[in-house]
Amino acid sequence: MKRFILYLASFLVVSGLFVQPHATLAQADTISNEALANLRTNCGAIKATVNRIHTNDALVRVNIGQDYNAISTRLMAKLNSRLSLNKLDASKLVSITNEFEATRQKFSSNYNAYDTIMSDLDKINCYDDPAKYHQKLVEARVGRQQLASDITALNKLITSYRDEVLAVKANLRGGNG
Amino acid sequence: MDRLKKCIERHRLVVFVAMAMLVASLLVAISMRIYYTSDAFRLDLSRPAYESRRSEINQDSKEKNNTFDAQGLVDKKVLDEFLTMYDDESKDALQRNAFNSEVLGDKELNIVTAETSVSAE
């Protein structure tokens, strides 16, 4: 019996170590009663603002997608091909292009996940269930943060590619390679 | 079976219209499924909600000017031309402050005001 209590106590202590960080994380997303009351009172206005943001996001997604697509297919891929045909070392440029494509794919799938969260958010009635609405809102914020960091990564790769083209240019001897 | 054949022959037009409607419904169902499973609906700005915003879509007018030829010699002049196109094409993407996470903040949505506060803060 003593041994059983010892095992049980050990189990509780060890499981407590795993559970505690999650409880802390969950706590960070909790919302005060006053804020919940605010959410319920301003439900209509908040939903309208969130809908406007969602509509605007689709527009931004299309425009930014077109920009990245043009950079990748009309410029990066074509220069890489031309450098290879001229037997010039384009390995770094190809590597940056591949990374750019992978990040673009990641951005696209992250946007789809974010869009699903925003659609789900629209379906929740913030007057009847403000806590559930807020929880979804927190998820949407995380998704949006992910999109912002994807865009930062893509923009960094655009700059890196430019720098690498300048390096290739510096190695050229006047005329053709 | 004979009765069915006779019935179809007697009402040819009705059967033809019904079959055409059935095939059309099936094709619509298949295309709608592709539309949703391919996530195309997320980027479809022809939906009524986007009617007023359609003018803000980039018309991609730079396409003809900023197409780099994949074949030909490579020298410093060619790379300079490339960089001019590249800067022009990437300017918009680099300047855009897209998906700023603050717009969905509690304060921005008036969930938290000066009097109320989220326990995390």
pLDDT in tens, A26-57: 434 567 888 888 888 889 999 999 999 998 89
pLDDT band for B51, please (50, 70, 90 cuts): confident
pLDDT score of B48: 82
Q: What is the mean pLDDT of residues A155-170?
A: 95
B12-23 pLDDT, tens digit each: 999 999 999 999
pLDDT score of A101: 96
pLDDT score of A112: 94
Q: Where are the alpha helices (DSSP H) in chain A?
A: 2-28, 33-41, 43-69, 77-85, 91-123, 130-171
* Distance in angstroms (rounded) separating the CA atoms of residues A143 and A147: 6
Is-contact B104 A137, C-beta < 8 A?
yes
pLDDT score of A116: 94
Q: What is the mean pLDDT of residues A5-19?
A: 55
pLDDT score of B1: 80
- Is residue A1 predicted with pLDDT exceeding 60? no
- Locate A71 and state its tokens: 């950079």
Distance of residue A93 Cα from the nearest chain B Cα, in angstroms? 13
Q: What is the mean pLDDT of residues B79-83?
A: 94
pLDDT band for B64, please (50, 70, 90 cuts): low
* Distance in angstroms (rounded) separating the CA atoms of residues B54 and B46: 8
Q: Flag whether the ipTM exceeds 0.85.
A: no
Q: Does A94 touch chain B (CB under 8 A)?
A: no
**Pairwise CB contact (< 8 Å): B86 & A145:** no
pLDDT band for A9, please (50, 70, 90 cuts): low
**Pairwise CB contact (< 8 Å): A62 & B83:** no
pTM of the model: 0.77
Q: Does A69 touch chain B (CB under 8 A)?
A: no
Is-contact A101 A77, C-beta < 8 A?
no
Mutate which: A25, A30, A32, A165, vs B, most B CBs within 10 A: A32
Q: Does B107 touch chain A (CB under 8 A)?
A: no
pLDDT score of A104: 96
Is-contact A67 B93, C-beta < 8 A?
yes
- Is residue B97 predicted with pLDDT exceeding 90? no
* Distance in angstroms (rounded) separating the CA atoms of residues A149 and A94: 22
pLDDT band for A22, please (50, 70, 90 cuts): very low
- Is residue B27 predicted with pLDDT exceeding 60? yes
